[in-house]
Amino acid sequence: MTQPPDPDVPQRPPTDVPQPPPGSPPPQAGHLPPAPPIPAEYGYGQPGVGVVPAGMYFDQESGLTLPQGVQLASVGRRIGAYFLAIPLAIVTLGIGYAIWGLIVWANGQTPALQVLGMRCWRPEDGRVAGWWWMALREIVGRIVDGILSVITLLVSFIFMLTRPDRRCLHDLVAGTVVLYDPDKVLVSQPPQAPAPM
């Protein structure tokens, strides 16, 4: 049998019951204290995305912040660009294709990407890849693609099929993604600040 508590000895509240913060009104009988505030990065929001800049949207599939009016180029469109480059190079006798490529690199394109309405975008910069980024992608990136010939080309193709952002090895070298831009939204768009990570 337990003894009743001694009224002369101060009693400590049980430690397993949450106590209201000092200075707050005493809790009402049958009511729980209010829950603490939920941190902004917790819950049902978009993971890893802060405020999306105006004119941009967060693509759930790839996890990238992209400009309005464009979408990540589909696998079929990317494969089409790969195979379209071959007849374009033949028809332009190779040298015409190289000159055409040097000109359109400034727009973030290759001749095949230009024909199919696609552009290379740099999510880190929030803008179309410029001439030097395209040179890195097309020269150094293609060398990386061809180092072990069929093996690295196959790895690059598997990356494009399995990565949510559809980047190949040459895209990883230059930090680019290929976007489908049917309405030429990216032609007149000023550079955007990248979304906070």
Distance CA 82, CA 41 (A): 40
**What does the pLDDT read at residue 117?**
96
What is the distance in angstroms between the CA of the first residue and the CA of the last residue of the chain? 62
Say what the pLDDT of residue 173 is.
Answer: 95
Band (pLDDT 50/70/90 cuts) for residue 79 is very high
Please compute the mean of the pLDDT values over residues 78-86 and round it to a whole number.
Answer: 95
Angle between helices 75-91 and 150-162 (to 10 degrees): 140
Count the neighbouring beta carbons within 10 Å of the beta carbon of residue 164.
12
Residue 93 has pLDDT above 90, yes or no: yes
- In this prediction, residue 149 carries a pLDDT of 86
Q: What is the pTM of this model?
A: 0.71
pLDDT of residue 9: 66
The tokens for 91 are 């028809």
The length of the chain in residues reads 197
Mean pLDDT of all residues belonging to the chain: 84
Residues 6+ apart with CB under 8 A from 183: 69
Over range 67-74, report the average pLDDT: 95
The Cα–Cα gap between 102 and 27 comes to 73
**Across residues 42-50, what is the average pLDDT?**
56
pLDDT confidence of 23, banded at 50, 70, 90? confident
Q: The tokens 């790895």 sit on which residue? A: 155
